[in-house]
């Protein structure tokens, strides 16, 4: 059922359009000054400031679910952005209207059923991807966080962790160049910000291969002995009697480094597996 058929909805939709128009002017000012990335946090605060008034109007004017067949009241406004043309400005405006409508209904006084909560959570995920495409990473992070919050009571752990991972990746895009950005990129590559622990198996395999080749290059042990030694040493450091007759001084230093990397990597891997 179209949302406009419900009493009071047209007024709410008009209010959302007015808020979006005000927000549009602020975004366009930031774009004109080439300061969108610097002012995005400020814009988000402004976006959030519209919601108390919208939620109050929604609670005051929209009939309860039993009087509208259990339908989501603003559902028509949720998906308007999906039918918008490829023009970035038009898509941006439609996505903001969609966010305001979705968040207004989510924060409203009426309890949503499980299917409706799941639908809104999936919609927040989709909006996160759209905001990223539009160059609004902080908006995307906010949408992904909302999705994760909604998946939590639904006990959708896999979907929640996917949303949290996407949130971290969106936040990464806001970082200025430097060590923090590099460290986060490595953290993502190694274990997906802890949400993909089995990626660490690839990291461990790369460490074993690298150290096996390095130990072999240092001599005097052959390739088979170097690989065997590194495989054992990664999990259980070799004793002096195993090191001295079989590996040169440089190779022994590498094996000590590998044993530390192995201990730390295994500890992190199992910690990620058993985390809540």
Residue 3 has pLDDT above 60, yes or no: no
Give the count of beta carbons closer than 10 Å to the beta carbon of residue 47. Answer: 20
End residue of a domain, out of 178, 212, 243: 178
More confident residue, 34 or 109: 109
CA–CA separation, 233 vs 207, rounded Å? 12
Percentage of the chain surpassing pLDDT 90?
A: 61
* Predicted local confidence at residue 6, as pLDDT: 65
* Predicted local confidence at residue 35, as pLDDT: 82
pLDDT tier at 255 (50, 70, 90 boundaries)? very high
> For the chain, what's the residue count?
276
Degrees, nearest 5: CA angle 72-164-268:
155
Could you tell me if residue 190 is inside a domain? Answer: no
Residues 144 and 40 in one domain: yes
Taking only the tens place, the pLDDT of each residue in 76-95 is: 887 776 776 678 888 888 99
Residue 46 has pLDDT above 80, yes or no: yes
What is the SS3 assignment for 272? helix
Cα-flanking dihedrals φ and ψ of residue 87, to 5°?
-65, 125
| DSSP-derived secondary structure letter, 82 | G
Q: How many domains does the chain have?
A: 2
End residue of a domain, out of 178, 210, 230: 178
Give Cα 27 distance to the centre of its chain: 23
Pick the closest to residue 77 from 95, 61, 56 (CA basis).
Answer: 95
pLDDT tier at 276 (50, 70, 90 boundaries)? low
Could you tell me if residue 193 is inside a domain? Answer: no
Residue 57 has pLDDT above 60, yes or no: yes
Q: Hunting for tokens 């022994």 — which residue is that?
A: 252
Q: Mean of the per-residue pLDDT values for the chain?
A: 89
119: part of which helix (H) or strand (E)?
A: helix 114-133
Task: Extract the tokens encoding 265.
Answer: 């990597």
For 206, the domain range is 199-273
Residues 123 and 10 in one domain: yes
Q: Mean pLDDT throughout 162-171?
A: 96
Asked if residues 15 and 100 have their Cβ atoms less than 8 Å apart, the reply is no
Q: Mean pLDDT throughout 120-137?
A: 94
* Predicted local confidence at residue 122, as pLDDT: 94
Could you tell me if residue 184 is inside a domain? Answer: no
Could you tell me if residue 158 is inside a domain? Answer: yes
Residues 171 and 119 in one domain: yes
* Predicted local confidence at residue 188, as pLDDT: 93
Could you tell me if residue 94 is inside a domain? Answer: yes
Q: How far apart are the first and last CA of the chain?
A: 40
């Amino acid at each position: 059922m179209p949302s406009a058929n419900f009493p009071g909805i047209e007024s709410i939709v008009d209010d959302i359009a007015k808020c979006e128009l005000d927000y549009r002017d602020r975004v366009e000012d930031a774009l004109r000054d080439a300061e969108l990335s610097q002012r995005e946090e400020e814009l988000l605060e402004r976006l959030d400031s519209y919601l108390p008034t919208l939620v109050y109007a929604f609670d005051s004017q929209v009939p309860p679910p039993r009087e509208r067949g259990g339908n989501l009241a603003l559902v028509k406004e949720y998906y308007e952005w999906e039918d918008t043309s490829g023009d970035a400005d038009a898509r941006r405006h439609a996505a903001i209207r969609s966010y305001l409508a979705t968040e207004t209904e989510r924060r409203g006084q009426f309890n949503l059923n499980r299917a409706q909560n799941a639908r809104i959570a999936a919609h927040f995920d989709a909006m996160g991807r759209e905001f990223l495409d539009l160059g609004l990473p902080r908006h995307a992070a906010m949408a992904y966080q909302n999705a994760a919050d909604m998946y939590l009571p639904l006990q959708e752990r896999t979907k929640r962790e996917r949303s949290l991972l996407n949130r971290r990746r969106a936040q990464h895009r806001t970082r200025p160049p430097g060590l923090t950005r590099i460290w986060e990129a490595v953290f993502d590559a190694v274990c997906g910000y802890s949400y993909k622990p089995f990626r660490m198996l690839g990291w461990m395999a790369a460490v074993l291969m690298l150290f096996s080749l390095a130990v072999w290059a240092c001599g005097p042990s052959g390739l088979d002995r170097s690989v065997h030694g590194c495989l054992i040493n990664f999990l259980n450091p070799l004793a002096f009697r195993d090191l001295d007759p079989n590996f040169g001084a440089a190779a022994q230093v590498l094996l000590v480094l590998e044993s530390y990397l192995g201990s730390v990597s295994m500890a992190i891997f199992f910690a990620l597996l058993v985390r809540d």
